């Protein structure tokens, strides 16, 4: 029995660990450190119709136990991703989750229709929550109706299941989650980054040339855990959790909150082998917790079956 | 490119806010090239979170030691400066492309121009060029006399000129002032330092000499995955073309990157 | 000239540093460490009509560079605060900002009317953003209309200026800020805590007995800086900034973002003398920045007068 | 109650996951009472953020040294265990009220009951009682033999019984089993340990003997300001009355606090 195997719409994962979108490029760099086939899946960098340079630099700034980024969806564009990046990844036995972005609904539809036909793309991740682009991005993700609308349109054309990536920068995350579920989303991924800023004392200007940026890393984990705890009790589609994961214990915390798989973002920059390291540590941790299969932990903090032995 | 733990074998302050730090690991050898850098984890916890890029200042193949020189700037280097003998430092190394030493032929003269914390990588460059029979001339610029370091070490390899902004040591002014005043003659330039300095050098010598510039940029991953460190290229200055300082650089020929 | 003096509605501050509400009790404990008269002001613990025990313990949990709390507005009640706690503070030459809370609008009105008559209370801080109580609290602070309503009612009865404390758990902080400004608020304080959660691996339950709690400390600073940057450009009332301040540099960052004074919360727990330490460091930092008076820095990141010398 | 930097003069592992740590500071003296605790800053950065409460295990007035014993539980104590000789640890101390030693008269017998990391403060209690001519009897409970510590040190002060849950050392079972089996006779109890143990002791002896319990509670400030560590009181078990473990405790007479 593989105690770490998880099955989600479109995804048979040998383990529930995957790099988060934008924190792993299209995998090439990390392939220098380990065999990408050990991963549960890979969430590749956001793809837009046209290639994008993104925002001016500086694009990253450090914060206490976190970082801000304002990359601005830099990517080589749909054609190149489809004809070069994704085929390169076919050498690995690992399902790809394609993160797609745009500035209007039609952009999402165009990218979704094409990219979902790539043989190794097993699911889409609708990025309606990127805080780093002027148009679209986060705007779609903060209003239930628009979030539902883009979900519905993408569902119509996608050949693979569609996961919607939620923004934490909202008053009521549950209502957004329910709206995209009703619109046909097969799963949720949460959370994208929190909107933040740092100001440089010397220049007296924001450190990021874009002004604001997205906060990620360990600092945001409690916010993400809280949101997954809230949402997982109100929807019937699975959640891929992310935000500040740096160790196997964090993965378990996400499962207990209600996630069915976990993505690792910022921590890849700190430690390039973090994903395989976590995968290796998980079985020992399950032993310690006397858990047979990791899926038994999903929603464990609010499901009542289990009673702590003291 | 690997992740490795370096054991601190030496750590001392050599000028105001400037520290020299030596680490040892069996994988440190001549495959670490001048101009390449390390991405260094500072402290054990999640604060500071990101790694810090620091250039390779020297390699001792025999002892598997690597030397770096850094300035205490902010929190990360402040914490780093507290590291003691015997502690382990986790680094990703060697990263980036390094200076193209093969562009210099035996008997030619290479001008090495460093500014502030851009000086350290040029020491290793100079040593390697010297080994290959290339003549080396150094011009190093600093803010003030207290922050000057490695004057003797560079002098042992070739003529060495110092410029300080306030004139407390060497020539008062910028490195470019020295080059002109001393009427230096050379076949190529290897340089590393602040952007205004790199710009000045590129403006003066691009097209006339071979010029190679080592850039700095805020980094996330250090290995090419996060797109934090991209620069526009001069061929397509407002377009989607780019280079990454961490993996395509940090060294670029003049004329390639929009500074 | 006192380079740190700041004047705000109702408040002549000898310096812009004050402990944040709930992180300093009513001052007694910290008076063992230093003379409270050195402080710019003191924001005392939230006061409700009746005494409250608050939530069951555990009430605090640590997070990366932050902490969660679910104290639940424990306080001795209006009468005792008015007749014992506030008079005790009169021995110090320091203005008090009284933080008031309730579960319905009338509660706020009752507390405001009475407490604002205490001789050393120079301003009120309306806590419409406490995430740790079932009724009222945060509910008031996430909808512009209700936030405006409670502000207006309190303004009617208060004998001192009223500052409204905003919740960061909202999609659009600017609209809330504008609503309370229009309702007559004399100033804003921001931010209260971000809603978060941690789950214990052994018990498989949230660490806090209350489930969720409020995230504070250095982890949240970038979110607060961003919100103050956004709000200060859209309102004409001053902002007292807070969230993760641990050093003089943070104070300057808050000023540059648009704050006119700064409160220190969680850091008091880590270092009981943090407030006087920061006050002492500030003049040196102003020297280094070549700034005469700290007020010159307010909004410096978005006002255009100053150009960095390089 | 002050903030002070203690210099580490000794730090060693004395049982599985159990460390003994000694710090020195000129302000450490006999005003630090048995049962009081320190609030200790672990590491230099903001992670871990909060201080950790640790009991005073012993004071050496002559050398101005303070001893504590702690178990590596989570991240904070893990980081603490890496502290080396000569490092400085910032502490708030002494905090809380301590055990009321005056309740024991010369010639009386005090039973000291410790469980796990509740054992350390009782060592200082025992030493001070002994000094005052009080007879001391110790019953210390642990999970297993590997985690037993200070058996010899306690034995030097008075009769000492050990219980382990798995029976690998001493009596198999709980401290209360030992007290009954050994038919111990005493005038008062001073105890510190996990809540179930404190409850058992309170149930058995409240009203019959003088009983003083030292509690643990998650803390924020450690000095009474944040209301993290409150407990209901037995007089008003569901009301707004409360005590704070950090400043009203950590020691309370039996019958006062809802455990
Ligand atoms: C390829 C490369 C090689 C370098 N080699 C050296 C060297 O040999 N010696 C040396 O002293 N310095 C070198 N630097 C600069 C060094 O990386 C920064 O001084 C250092 O990161 C500052 O960290 P801090 O924590 O002290 O400052 P903080 O300001 O606290 O750092 C905050 C964040 O900004 C980043 N940052 C700040 N300044 C710089 C900078 N100038 N360049 C890149 N990132 C920065 C930090 O890495 C960190 O992520 C190099 C930079 C690069 C890109
Ligand atoms: C008055 C008092 C005296 C104590 N004396 C001792 C002693 O002498 N020796 C010893 O080994 N331990 C003692 N403890 C327990 C000790 O404080 C915890 O084991 C320690 O805080 C755990 O920190 P951590 O970072 O390893 O664990 P983590 O679980 O990572 O800590 C996370 C947070 O929870 C808090 N926490 C976790 N466990 C406890 C606990 N049992 N009590 C209070 N807070 C906790 C931590 O302080 C921290 O804020 C005492 C506790 C109190 C309240
Ligand atoms: C540098 C960087 C780039 C990112 N780019 C994307 C992106 O292209 N698409 C996306 O949906 N999320 C992107 N994210 C968000 C991450 O996928 C993830 O949701 C977030 O960082 C939280 O996880 P973490 O704390 O583990 O990093 C990016 C994050 C970072 C740090
Ligand atoms: C333990 C604790 C108790 C708090 N109690 C209150 C309160 O009673 N009223 C209130 O308005 N804010 C309360 N807060 C929020 C703080 O005043 C402050 O807004 C927040 O903690 C952010 O600042 P910091 O990061 O410096 O702590 C509390 C915060 C903490 C940590
Ligand atoms: S630092 Fe990540 S791509 Fe260069
Ligand atoms: S720990 Fe803050 S009141 Fe006790």
**Confidence band (pLDDT; 50, 70, 90) for C310?**
very low
Q: Where are the beta strands (DSSP E) in chain C?
A: 6-8, 11-13, 17-19, 42-43, 60-63, 66-69, 96-100, 121-127, 162-165, 187-190, 194-196, 213-216, 239-242, 261-264
pLDDT digits (tens, 9 = 90+) for A156-173: 999 999 999 999 999 999
Q: Which phi and psi angles does C160 have, rounded to 5°? A: -130, 165
Residue C111, domain CATH? 3.20.20.70
Can you give the pLDDT at residue A306? Answer: 62
Can you give the pLDDT at residue D89? Answer: 95
- The answer to whether D98 and D251 are in contact (CB under 8 A) is yes
Residue-wise DSSP of D218-245: --SSSSSSS-SSEE-BTTBTTSS--EET
pLDDT digits (tens, 9 = 90+) for A211-253: 999 999 999 999 999 999 999 999 999 999 999 999 999 999 9
Confirm or reject contact between A192 and chain B (CB < 8 A). Answer: no
What pairing do the DSSP bridges indicate for beta strands A42-43 and A96-100? parallel
b/e for A15-43, b at 16 or more Cβ within 10 A?
Answer: bbbbbbbbbbbbbbbbeebeebebbbbbb
> Does the pLDDT value for residue C100 go beyond 80?
yes
CA of D46 from ligand 6 middle (Å) equals 19
pLDDT digits (tens, 9 = 90+) for A173-192: 999 999 999 999 999 999 99
Kindly state the percentage of chain A with pLDDT values over 70: 95
Angle at C57 between CA C56 and CA C58, to 5 degrees: 140
- Pocket test residue of B11, B35, B54 for ligand 1, highest count of atoms within 8 A of CB: B54
User: Looking at the domain assignment, is residue A202 inside a domain?
Assistant: no
C99 lines ligand 4 (CB under 6 A): yes
Q: What is the mean pLDDT of chain B?
A: 95
Q: Which phi and psi angles does C62 have, rounded to 5°? A: -90, 150
Number of domains chain C contains:
1
User: Looking at the domain assignment, is residue A60 inside a domain?
Assistant: no
Can you give the pLDDT at residue A308? Answer: 56
User: Looking at the domain assignment, is residue C65 inside a domain?
Assistant: no
pTM (whole model) above 0.80: yes
Average of pLDDT values for C149-153? Answer: 95
Can you give the pLDDT at residue A130? Answer: 74
Q: What is the mean pLDDT of chain A?
A: 94
**Confidence band (pLDDT; 50, 70, 90) for A310?**
very low
Query: How distant is the alpha carbon of residue A246 from its chain centre?
Result: 15
Any idea which architecture B101-216 has in CATH? 3-Layer(aba) Sandwich (3.40)
**Confidence band (pLDDT; 50, 70, 90) for B169?**
very high
CATH 3.40.50.80 domain range(s) in chain B: 101-216
pLDDT digits (tens, 9 = 90+) for A42-81: 999 999 999 999 999 999 999 999 999 999 999 999 999 9
Can you give the pLDDT at residue A135? Answer: 58
> Does the pLDDT value for residue C198 go beyond 90?
yes
User: Looking at the domain assignment, is residue C247 inside a domain?
Assistant: yes
Q: What is the mean pLDDT of chain C?
A: 94
User: Looking at the domain assignment, is residue C1 inside a domain?
Assistant: no
Average of pLDDT values for B8-32? Answer: 96
Can you give the pLDDT at residue D127? Answer: 97
Task: Among D45, D48, D49, D81, pick the best mutation site for testing chain B contact (most B Cβ within 10 A).
Answer: D45
**Confidence band (pLDDT; 50, 70, 90) for B44?**
confident
pLDDT digits (tens, 9 = 90+) for C231-240: 999 999 999 9
As a whole number of angstroms, the distance between CA A265 and CA A69 comes to 12
User: Looking at the domain assignment, is residue C202 inside a domain?
Assistant: no
pLDDT digits (tens, 9 = 90+) for C215-236: 999 999 999 999 999 999 999 9
From the number of C-beta atoms within 10 Å of its C-beta (0-12, 13-18, 19+), residue B108 rates as: middle
Confirm or reject contact between B230 and chain D (CB < 8 A). Answer: no
pLDDT digits (tens, 9 = 90+) for B215-232: 999 999 999 999 999 999
Tell if the CB–CB gap between A272 and B51 is shorter than 8 Å: no
Can you give the pLDDT at residue C110? Answer: 97
Average of pLDDT values for A252-274? Answer: 98
> Does the pLDDT value for residue B155 go beyond 60?
yes
Q: Cβ contacts (< 8 Å) between D91 and chain C: which residues?
A: none
> Does the pLDDT value for residue A14 go beyond 60?
yes
Can you give the pLDDT at residue D42? Answer: 93
Which residue is catalytic, options C11, C61, C130, C154? C130
Q: Is A141 annotated as a binding residue?
A: no
CA C88 → CA C27, C40, C92, C123, C244, distances in Å? 9, 18, 9, 18, 29
Active site residue C130: yes
As a whole number of angstroms, the distance between CA A20 and CA A189 comes to 10
Touching C (3+ Cβ pairs <8 A), the chains are: A, B, D
Residues of A forming the active site? 130
User: Looking at the domain assignment, is residue A20 inside a domain?
Assistant: yes
List residues of chain D with CB under 8 Å from any CB of chain A: 46-47, 196
Tell me the mean pLDDT per 10 residues along chain D, length 259: 94 96 96 97 90 98 97 94 90 96 95 97 97 96 95 95 93 92 93 96 95 96 97 93 96 96
HEC profile for chain A?
A: CCCCCEEECCEEECCCEEECCCCCCCCCCHHHCCCHHHCCCEECCCECCCCECCCCCCCEEEECCEEEECCCCCECCHHHHHHHHHHHHCCCCCCEEEEECCCCHHHHHHHHHHHCCCCCEEEEEEECCCCCCCCCCHHHHCCHHHHHHHHHHHHHHCCCCEEEECCCCCCCHHHHHHHHHHCCCCEEEECCCEEECCECCCCCCECECCECEEEECHHHHHHHHHHHHHHHCCCCCCEEEECCCCCHHHHHHHHHHCCCEEEECCHHHHCCCHHHHHHHHHHHHHHHCCCCCHHHHCCCCCCCCCCCCC
Can you give the pLDDT at residue D206? Answer: 95
> Does the pLDDT value for residue C137 go beyond 70?
no
pLDDT digits (tens, 9 = 90+) for B56-107: 999 999 999 999 999 999 999 999 998 888 889 999 999 999 999 999 999 9
**Confidence band (pLDDT; 50, 70, 90) for C41?**
very high
CATH 2.40.30.10 domain range(s) in chain B: 2-95
**Confidence band (pLDDT; 50, 70, 90) for C141?**
confident
Any idea which architecture B2-95 has in CATH? Beta Barrel (2.40)
From the number of C-beta atoms within 10 Å of its C-beta (0-12, 13-18, 19+), residue B203 rates as: exposed
């Amino acid at each position: 029995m593989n105690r770490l195997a998880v099955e989600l719409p479109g995804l048979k994962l040998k383990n529930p660990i995957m790099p988060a979108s934008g924190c792993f490029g299209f995998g090439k760099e990390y392939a220098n450190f380990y065999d990408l086939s050990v991963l549960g899946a890979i969430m590749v960098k956001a793809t837009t119709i046209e290639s994008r340079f993104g925002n001016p630099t500086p694009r990253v700034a450090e914060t206490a136990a976190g970082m801000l980024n304002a990359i601005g969806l830099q990517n080589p564009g749909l054609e190149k991703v489809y004809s070069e990046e994704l085929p390169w990844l076919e050498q690995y036995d690992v399902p790809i989750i394609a993160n797609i972005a745009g500035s209007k609904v039609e952009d999402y539809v165009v990218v979704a229709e094409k990219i979902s036909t790539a043989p190794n793309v097993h699911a889409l991740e609708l990025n309606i929550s990127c805080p780093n682009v002027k148009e679209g991005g986060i705007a779609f993700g903060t209003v239930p109706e628009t979030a539902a609308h883009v979900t519905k349109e993408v569902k119509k054309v996608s050949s693979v299941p569609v996961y919607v990536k939620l923004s934490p920068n909202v008053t009521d995350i549950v209502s957004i989650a329910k709206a995209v579920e009703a619109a046909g989303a097969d799963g949720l991924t949460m959370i994208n980054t929190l909107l933040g800023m740092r100001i440089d004392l010397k220049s007296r200007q924001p450190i990021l040339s874009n002004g604001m940026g997205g906060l990620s890393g360990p600092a945001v984990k409690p916010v993400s855990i809280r949101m997954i705890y809230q949402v997982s009790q109100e929807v019937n589609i699975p959640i891929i959790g992310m935000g500040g994961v740096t160790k196997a214990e964090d993965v378990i915390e996400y499962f207990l909150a209600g996630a069915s798989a976990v993505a690792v973002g910022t921590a890849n920059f700190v430690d390039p082998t973090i994903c395989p390291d976590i995968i290796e540590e998980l079985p020992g941790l399950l032993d310690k917790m006397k858990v047979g299969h990791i899926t038994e932990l999903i929603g464990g903090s609010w499901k009542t079956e289990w009673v702590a032995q003291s | 490119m690997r992740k490795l733990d370096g054991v601190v074998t030496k750590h001392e302050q050599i000028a105001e806010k400037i520290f020299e730090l030596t680490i040892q690991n069996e994988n440190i050898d001549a495959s670490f090239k001048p101009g390449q850098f390390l991405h260094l984890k500072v402290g054990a916890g999640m604060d500071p979170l990101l790694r810090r890029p620091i250039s390779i200042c020297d390699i001792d193949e025999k002892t598997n030691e690597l030397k770096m020189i850094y300035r205490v700037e902010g929190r990360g280097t402040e914490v780093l400066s507290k590291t003691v003998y015997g502690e382990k430092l986790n680094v990703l190394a060697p990263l980036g492309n390094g200076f193209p030493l093969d562009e210099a032929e035996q008997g030619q003269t290479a001008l090495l121009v460093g500014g502030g914390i851009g000086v350290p990588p040029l020491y290793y460059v100079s040593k390697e060029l010297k080994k290959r029979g290339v003549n080396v001339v150094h011009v190093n610029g600093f803010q003030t006399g207290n922050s000057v370091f490695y004057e003797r070490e560079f002098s042992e390899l070739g003529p060495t000129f110092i410029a300080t902004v306030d004139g407390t040591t060497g020539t008062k002014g910028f490195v470019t002032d020295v080059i002109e005043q001393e009427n230096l003659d050379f076949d190529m330039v290897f340089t590393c330092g602040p952007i205004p300095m790199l710009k000045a050098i590129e403006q003066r010598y691009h097209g006339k000499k071979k010029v190679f510039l080592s850039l700095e940029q805020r980094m996330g991953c250090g290995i090419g995955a996060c797109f934090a460190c991209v620069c526009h290229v001069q061929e397509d200055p407002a377009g989607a073309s780019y280079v990454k300082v961490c993996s395509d650089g940090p060294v670029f020929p003049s004329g390639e990157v929009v500074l």
